[in-house]
Amino acid sequence: MRGWSLRIFRIFGVDVRMHPLMVLVLFFSLVFAKLADGFATRGFGLWVLMLLAIAVREIGRGFAAAWCGMQMQSLIILPTGGIATYGLREDRQRRHDLLMALSGPLANFFIGICTAMLLLAVSPSLRLFDRPYITSGHLIRALMWTQIFLGGIHMIPAVPLDAGVLLRRNFMRLRGAARGARAAAGISQMTGIFISIAGIAFQNIWTMAIGASIVIGWQTVALEDTSGDEAVDSVRMRDVMLSNFTTLGASDTLEEALNASIHSLQDIFPVTRGPLLVGSVSRQALSDALLTGGNSYVQGVMTRSLHVASADDPVVSTLRKLSTEGTQMLPVVEGGRVVGIVTPQNLSMSMGLLGRTRRLRQRLGEDAAGE
């Protein structure tokens, strides 16, 4: 999901990004407001109120995370709120599941109730309970109801909503990781589709977007939760890395490097000077540099700052690096030498194959024990 998101800013060490679905919500909000009221600016105002509700939720969760000693690393904003990653092992993070699940909705409910009290104190004749509750035609009323709505929607047991995350982890604990995850995924998908259809029927852009967010977001939470399982914790990088890969020399010419890249399926290549890793370069960068600047050397176009993983690192930490840094290729080093590489695609495929192999071995072992 991070690869599709748009970076907004970085604050207190947290990389804040926005999913393109939020931009789509803005577009439809402008269109619906123009058709309904004749003023597209009201649609923008409603979108800002949605962002305000999301900001209240994430501030509440941020305080809860700080109290629990959890350091947030990145945040992707969806219409349902933010999906955060933390620099903390999942087994420790799960100790605070209930507090983290309650902090966001409670923050929204608190601000929503305070807003209602303030509005009624200023203007007692204000009709806050007229329908529709959230509409570009009455932004004052929407100011309160966006808070209440976002807090209430997270009481629905569908991932990535707060109640859904709790339900999924309880399913995984009671029914086993695989069966529990499948059951929660089925509930989440059906709930997301139902909410989307309801949004279309009532012509409510935020409801439609929340349904779409559930369909999209449960996969991200599933990946994060799976990364904390004991079976995954025992897997090291040497078990899943690509050991057959192509490296380029820093002193190679661009033409030589581009010719070598033709015979490889890689898009990004580690660059070495002797046995030492000194950078990385993409096939596209080689081609562009050759076309614009002529046949120079790889060291002039390579990226010198790159993240690496150790062969003995757990897969969990590498998953977080790929997720939070947006890295498309991660060299695996041992004793200062590059011994392998991982990409998001090969890591996902290798983990799937490794899981199937382990299940097959377990089944064969059970059959042998039964005989």
- Give the residue extent of every domain in the chain: 2-226, 237-344
Of residues 336 and 19, more confidence is placed in 19
Mean per-residue pLDDT for 91-113? 83
Is residue 220 pLDDT above 80, yes or no? no
pLDDT at 146: 94
Strands 14-18 and 72-78: parallel
Cβ–Cβ under 8 Å, residues 214 and 158: yes
- Cβ atoms within 10 Å of 329's Cβ, excluding its own: 21
Chain mean pLDDT for the chain: 81
User: By percentage, how much of the chain surpasses pLDDT 90?
Assistant: 21
Strand 268-273 versus strand 81-86 pairing type: unpaired
Selection from 55, 61, 210, 52 nearest residue 142 by Cα: 52
Whether 133 contacts 46, CB under 8 Å: no
Distance between CA atoms of residues 90 and 228, nearest Å: 5
Q: Give the model's pLDDT for residue 230.
A: 45
pLDDT in tens, 248-263: 999 999 999 989 888 8
Helix locations, 297-343, DSSP H: 315-325
* CATH topology for the 237-344 domain: CBS-domain (3.10.580)
Give the pLDDT mean for 22-35. 89
Residue 195 has pLDDT above 60, yes or no: yes
Looking at residue 330, what is its pLDDT? 81
In this structure, what token pair is assigned to residue 135?
Answer: 């509409």
The pLDDT of residue 343 = 78
Which pLDDT value is given to residue 12? Answer: 79
Q: Are 18 and 32 in contact, with CB atoms under 8 Å apart?
A: no
The answer for residues whose C-beta is within 8 angstroms of residue 127's C-beta and 6 or more apart is 141
Question: Would you say residue 158 has pLDDT above 50?
Answer: yes
Q: What is the pLDDT of residue 338?
A: 86
Comparing 194-198, 286-290, 307-311, 326-330, the range with the smallest average pLDDT is 326-330
Interval 90-116 mean pLDDT: 83
pTM of the model: 0.61
Residue 62 has pLDDT above 70, yes or no: yes
Per the model's pLDDT, the better-predicted residue between 347 and 148 turns out to be 148
pLDDT tens digits, 172-185: 778 766 677 778 87
Compute the distance between CA of residue 338 and CA of residue 26 in angstroms, rounded to an integer: 46
For residues 197 and 136, the answer to whether their CB atoms sit within 8 Å is no
> Of 312 and 281, which is predicted with more confidence?
281
> What is the band of 317 on the pLDDT scale with cuts at 50, 70, 90?
low
pLDDT at 92 over 60: no
- Amino acid occupying residue 112: G
Task: Please report the pLDDT score of residue 4 as a whole number.
Answer: 66
3-class DSSP assignment, residue 329: coil
Are 325 and 227 in contact by the 8 Å Cβ rule? The answer is: no
Structure confidence at residue 242 as a pLDDT band (50, 70, 90) = confident
pLDDT tier at 307, thresholds 50, 70, 90: confident
Query: pLDDT > 70: what percent of the chain?
Result: 81
Cα–Cα distance for residue pair 282/6, rounded to 1 Å: 22
Residue 34 CA to its chain's centroid (Å): 32
CA distance 267 to 341: 12
User: pLDDT: is 297 or 226 the higher one?
Assistant: 297
- Asked whether residue 78 carries a pLDDT value surpassing 70, the answer given is yes
Q: Could you tell me how many helices (H) and strands (E) the chain has, helices first? A: 14, 10
Q: Strand ranges (DSSP E) for the chain?
A: 6-11, 14-18, 72-78, 81-86, 248-249, 268-273, 276-282, 309-310, 330-334, 337-342
DSSP label of 128: T
Q: Grade residue 312 by pLDDT with cuts at 50, 70 and 90.
A: confident
Q: Would you state the pLDDT for residue 268?
A: 87
- In this predicted structure, the answer to whether residue 167 has a pLDDT above a threshold of 90 is no
More confident residue, 364 or 243: 243
Determine the Cα–Cα distance for residues 314 and 128; give it in Å rounded to an integer: 53
Residue-wise DSSP of 80-101:
TEEEEEESS-HHHHGGGHHHHH
